[in-house]
Amino acid sequence: MSLHLFLNHHTAWPAPMKPRIHRVLLRTTLVLLCLTSAALLRTPSGTAAPPDNPRRTPIVEAVERDRGAVVNIHSERTVKAPAGDDLPSLTPSQNRVNGMGTGIIIDPRGYIITNQHVVEDVSVIRVRLADGASFNARVLARDSETDLALLKIEAGRPLPVMPFGTATDLMVGETVIAIGNAFGYEHTVTTGIVSAVKRDVTLNKDISYKSLIQTCADINPGNSGGPLLNINGDLVGVNVAIRAGAQGIGFAIPVDTMLRVAAEMMSSRRRTSLTHGLACRDRVDTTQGAPIRSLVVERIETGGAAAQAGVQRGDIIVQVGDQRVGCALELERCLLERAAGDRVPVVIRRNGTEQKVELVLLAVEKTVPVPAEVVWRKVGLRFNPVNGEVVSRVNPHLHGGLAVTEVNGDSPAGKAGIQRGDILVGLHQWETITLDNVAFVVTHPDLASFNPLRFYIVRGGQVHRGWLQQVD
């Protein structure tokens, strides 16, 4: 206001003084304006606020937001001995091949999704986080049809989780971002556009994919299992393949497919033998602009926990415990580390009205299989016990074994070359003195991470080693 008064009342001064007064007032005005501008540019803390940075694009912000949920995967594969040695010797093999890939953290407790081919037939998996911390990982589940695998690390602290988007509203020409371990260069960022959606791809006679996202964002060896993001930093796909010999042709599994498969892999029934009695489907509404996810109950297991809680077909699961849910994966995440009998508060929406119910988790009733039948079904072998002295004469460190009496030629054991008369003395890292020892290994909760399953046999007075492929 003082500036206004000075500038609007200067004509009252004598005429000869006007030029000097004008100059004084002009200098005063400029000084006051500078001081006022400086004050406006000060933040509450008293430090100068930086001006808008035109280089800070949505891509920069998306990468900064999500890079902590992207991990580097290093693996080691054991290469079999050269042809002519059907069963390699017991001497530890030095023939190891390093592999690399990328993973996406989908739960703060260390659950990671990647491609199945990244961890196929590996003996060691090491995961490196964005902050440089490194952990051993184990494979919890695989799905070869969709080429996805679920890993677990024990980080001892909550980890950042990738925000989920949807691929249902992807537009051809839309900008997308890929982050991955390209040729071992961790957290490499590339950009491109969506070139096509719902693309069926056949890579060779053994590998084909359905309904993939095609992108021209550069994807290289090591990017497999890494995220494809939209401009908002939401996950829209899992990078899976490139067209060999082509330029700018890469493919990603839609995030909606990943969420469905990951929910099955992480399900309470599969991981902890608990059941909630719900069969749900993910629904995505894109009519309101930003996609809105919801979890719709499609079927209720008769007599199950959900039926006892009064949940009905068509209900929408809104909240489990203190967590809001919008997809089946988030439901299963909320039930991790629960026990049979736990009472879990659940909020459902029915006919537009929210109401609370209580879900009491139930244990899945299981029959105890006969060990001999389990071993036959899983590996294709039948045994008779042998005297421990038979194998201790071959190697004094061995305490016993099982003589092979029958082999299913189409089984993992048959394909690995095990024959009648061989004596099985070890599986993975355990001795096999009794049939229960074998059953323990082939029914182990972490069996998927053992594949290929190493075995030791005595044949012709010598100990040999081999591998059983895809025991499940």
SS3 content of the chain, % helix, strand, coil (to 5): 25, 40, 40
| Amino acid, single-letter form, for residue 223 | N
Which amino acid makes up residue 387?
N
Rounded Cα distance between 254 and 194, Å, is 12
What would be the CATH architecture of the domain defined by 268-363? Answer: Roll (2.30)
CA distance 191 to 421: 59
Predicted local confidence at residue 391, as pLDDT: 86
Peptide bond into 16 cis (omega under 30): no
> In this structure, what DSSP letter does residue 16 have?
G
Domain 371-468 adopts which CATH fold? Answer: Pdz3 Domain (2.30.42)
| Residue 117 a catalytic site member | yes
Residue 194 vs residues 122, 171, 190, 393: alpha-carbon distances, Å? 32, 7, 13, 65
| CA atoms 35, 37, 40, 42: torsion sign | negative
Q: Of 66, 75, 107, 147, which is the active-site residue?
A: 147
- Catalytic residue from among 75, 195, 224, 268: 224
2 is catalytic: no
410 catalytic residue (yes or no): no
Q: Which of 66, 74, 75, 117 is catalytic?
A: 117
Predicted local confidence at residue 366, as pLDDT = 58
Q: What is the pLDDT of residues 179-195, one digit of tens each?
A: 999 999 999 999 999 99
pLDDT of residue 431: 86
Q: Which residues pair with 101 in a beta bridge?
A: 73
Q: Which CATH number fits domain 59-266: 2.40.10.170, 2.40.10.120, 2.40.37.10, 2.30.110.10?
A: 2.40.10.120
Question: What pLDDT score was predicted for residue 221?
Answer: 92
pLDDT of the residue at 53: 87
| Contact criterion met (CB below 8 Å) for 402 and 409 | no
Q: In 3D, which of 199, 235, 234, 233 has the Cα closest to residue 216? A: 199
pLDDT given at position 95: 55
* Residues of the chain below pLDDT 50: 1-19, 21-26, 28-49, 81-94
* Strand 70-78 relative to strand 381-385, pairing: unpaired
Q: What global pTM score does this model have?
A: 0.69
Please give the pLDDT value at position 11.
Answer: 38
